[in-house]
Amino acid sequence: MKIAITGGTGFVGGRLGRRLAAEGHDVVSIGRRTGIPVDDVVALEKAFAGCEVVAHCAGINREIGEQTYERVHVEGTRVVIEAARRAGVRKIVMLSFLRARPGCGSPYHESKWAAEELVRASGLDYTILKAGMIYGRGDHMLDHLSHAMYTFPLFLKVGLREKTIRPVAVDDVVDVLRAAIVDGRMSGETVAVLGPEEITLGEAVRRVAKVVGRTPVMLPAPVWVHRVLARVWELTMKVPLAAVAQVRILSEGVRDPLPFANALPADLEPRRQFTNELIREGLPEPGRFGLRDLRCFPV
């Protein structure tokens, strides 16, 4: 099967591409690093030629210059759909966010929802995955948590009363994506993809700290403090320690889909727990944040 993946060099898209290629599928990887832009309908039509399915995994968690949520999530999805129609693609499988929804005051959440609605109204077969907090080697969560523990003696919990999360392993997400792409399952459905454990962010931090051999002091802090810090990090860091959208996500919790999503088939429900072994597998090389992480520092 020939399959195109937008965001094909990213965290989830790259993992999906390697899995499909290992199974013998013809994979077309699309993204900034492959020279095929997601906002060029002509280029995408050519890239999609002969593809049966497009896995739409492209997305951002912060806005930088022209890379806005509206342009990447909404207009990018509109272009992907148009190119897919022109190329004769039969199905779009989209990776979205668990709590993407309209009218909530968060441009990230609202743009992801708008993209979902475009896919649902496209006239093409589709499956939309509303995924929770995804972790694994190359993610932002384990990467930034581990570097923060080597850099700072203090960890501020988000909010005076923590909400819970259900971290989901990237390989579990790839399993669901593959089932929708290759096996044609969950046709016309929007499904929730969540990990099997419900824990607080503080508990997740404690587990990561144990694996890296650190014991940070953990204190609660109001959400507004995290928003201010996130603004500073977005302005100063190449990949922020936490983006404003991520603060909003953590302040709400990541355990329930909004406004709706079907349950996964029982055999596809994620079963990998947030264990020391999986945390260790997902950690980057040890080290602290430094000048190389600042936007003003040349590559």
All structural domains of the chain, each given as residue ranges with its CATH number in brackets, are: 2-138+168-193+256-270 (3.40.50.720)
pLDDT of 291 reads 83
Rounded Cα gap, residues 31 and 11, in angstroms = 12
Quick: pLDDT tens for 28-38. Answer: 999 877 878 78
**pTM across the whole model:** 0.94
- From 97, 101, 167, 100, select the one nearest 131 (Cα to Cα): 97
pLDDT of 121 reads 97
- The DSSP 8-state label assigned to residue 49 in this structure reads T
Tokens matching residue 46: 């050519």
pLDDT of 299 reads 58
Question: CA angle at residue 201 from 264 to 130, to 5 degrees?
Answer: 25
Tokens matching residue 124: 């093409």
CB 248, CB 117: distance < 8 Å? no
* pLDDT digit string (tens) for the chain, length 299 residues: 999 999 999 999 999 999 999 999 999 999 877 878 788 999 999 999 999 999 999 999 888 888 899 999 999 999 999 999 999 999 999 999 999 999 999 999 999 999 999 999 999 999 999 999 999 998 988 998 999 999 988 999 999 998 999 999 999 999 999 999 999 999 999 999 999 999 999 999 999 999 999 999 999 999 999 999 999 999 998 888 889 999 999 999 999 999 989 999 999 999 999 999 999 999 998 898 888 888 887 65
Question: Looking at the chain, how many residues does it have?
Answer: 299
Angle between helices 41-48 and 76-87 (to 10 degrees): 50
- From 275, 289, 278, select the one nearest 145 (Cα to Cα): 289
